[in-house]
Amino acid sequence: MRLKKLLENLHLLTPYQGEDLEITSIENDNRKVQKGSLFICIKGYTVDGHDFAALAVKNGAAAVLAERPLPLEVPVIIVKDTKRAMAVLADAFYGQPTKKLKLIGITGTNGKTTTSHMIEKIFADRGCKTGLIGTMYTKIGDKTFESKNTTPESLTLQKTFHQMVGEGVETAVMEVSSHALDLGRVHGCDFDVAVFTNLTQDHLDYHKTMEEYKRAKSLLFAQLGNTFHHQNPKFAVLNADDPASEMFRSATAAHVVTYGIDTEADIQAQNIQMTSTGTKFEIVIGENRYPIHIQLIGKFSVYNVLASFTAALVFGIPIRQIIHSLESLKGVAGRFELVQAGQDFTVIVDYAHTPDSLENVLKTIRQFAQKKIFVVVGCGGDRDRTKRPLMAEIACRYATHPIFTSDNPRSEDPIAILKDMEAGVAGYSSYKIIPDRKEAIVYAVNQASSGDVILIAGKGHETYQQIGNEVYEFDDRIVAREAIKER
Ligand SMILES: CC(=O)N[C@H]1[C@@H](OP(=O)(O)OP(=O)(O)OC[C@H]2O[C@@H](n3ccc(=O)[nH]c3=O)[C@H](O)[C@@H]2O)O[C@H](CO)[C@@H](O)[C@@H]1O[C@H](C)C(=O)N[C@@H](C)C(=O)N[C@H](CCC(=O)O)C(=O)O
Ligand SMILES: Nc1ncnc2c1ncn2[C@@H]1O[C@H](COP(=O)(O)OP(=O)(O)OP(=O)(O)O)[C@@H](O)[C@H]1O
Ligand SMILES: N[C@H](CCC[C@H](N)C(=O)O)C(=O)O
Ligand SMILES: [Mg+2]
User: In angstroms, what is the span from residue 53 Cα to ligand 2's centroid?
Assistant: 40
pLDDT for position 295: 97
Our answer on whether the CB atom of 27 is closer than 6 Å to any ligand 1 atom is: no
**CATH number of 132's domain:** 3.40.1190.10
* 270 and 417 housed in the same domain: no
User: In angstroms, what is the span from residue 352 Cα to ligand 4's centroid?
Assistant: 11
pLDDT for position 205: 85
Domain encompassing residue 179? 97-328
| The model's pTM | 0.95
Using pLDDT thresholds of 50, 70 and 90, give the confidence band for residue 225.
confident
Determine the atom of ligand 3 nearest the C-alpha atom of 381: 10
pLDDT for position 73: 96
Last residue of a domain, one of 328, 354, 375: 328
d(CA 21, CA 65): 14
Our answer on whether the CB atom of 160 is closer than 6 Å to any ligand 3 atom is: no
- Weakest-pLDDT range from 117-121, 230-234, 312-316, 472-476: 230-234
* 432 and 370 housed in the same domain: yes
* 161 and 310 housed in the same domain: yes
* 106 and 221 housed in the same domain: yes
d(CA 359, CA 393): 10
Cβ atoms of residues 409 and 468 within 8 Å: yes
- Rounded to the nearest integer, the mean pLDDT of the chain is 97
Residue 226 has pLDDT above 90, yes or no: no
Our answer on whether the CB atom of 30 is closer than 6 Å to any ligand 1 atom is: yes
Our answer on whether the CB atom of 388 is closer than 6 Å to any ligand 3 atom is: no
Q: Which ligand is nearest to the CA of 178?
A: 1
Per DSSP bridges, beta strands 235-239 and 193-196 are parallel
% of the chain surpassing 90 pLDDT: 97
pLDDT for position 357: 95
Our answer on whether the CB atom of 437 is closer than 6 Å to any ligand 3 atom is: no
Answer yes or no: is the ipTM higher than 0.90.
Answer: yes
Q: Give alpha helix (H) positions in 287-382.
A: 299-313, 319-327, 355-368
Complete DSSP assignment for 8-27: HTT--SS---S---B--EEE
Q: Express each pLDDT in 329-388 by its tens digit.
A: 999 999 999 999 999 999 999 999 999 999 999 999 999 999 999 999 999 999 999 999
Element (H, E) at 194: strand 193-196
- Phi first, then psi, for residue 113 (nearest 5°) are -60, -45
Last residue of a domain, one of 76, 93, 110: 93
Q: Express each pLDDT in 66-103 by its tens digit.
A: 999 999 999 999 999 999 999 999 999 999 999 999 99
Number of domains in the chain: 3
| Ligand 2 pocket test, candidate residues 106, 109, 110, most atoms within 8 A of CB | 110
Using pLDDT thresholds of 50, 70 and 90, give the confidence band for residue 305.
very high
Q: Express each pLDDT in 146-173 by its tens digit.
A: 999 999 999 999 999 999 999 999 999 9
- Environment class of 336 (CB within 10 Å of its CB; exposed 0-12, middle 13-18, buried 19+): buried
Using pLDDT thresholds of 50, 70 and 90, give the confidence band for residue 202.
confident
Q: Express each pLDDT in 243-277 by its tens digit.
A: 999 999 999 999 999 999 999 999 999 999 999 89
Q: Express each pLDDT in 41-61 by its tens digit.
A: 999 999 999 999 999 999 999
Last residue of a domain, one of 93, 121, 155: 93
**CATH number of 437's domain:** 3.90.190.20
Q: Express each pLDDT in 124-153 by its tens digit.
A: 999 999 999 999 999 999 999 999 999 999
* 177 and 322 housed in the same domain: yes
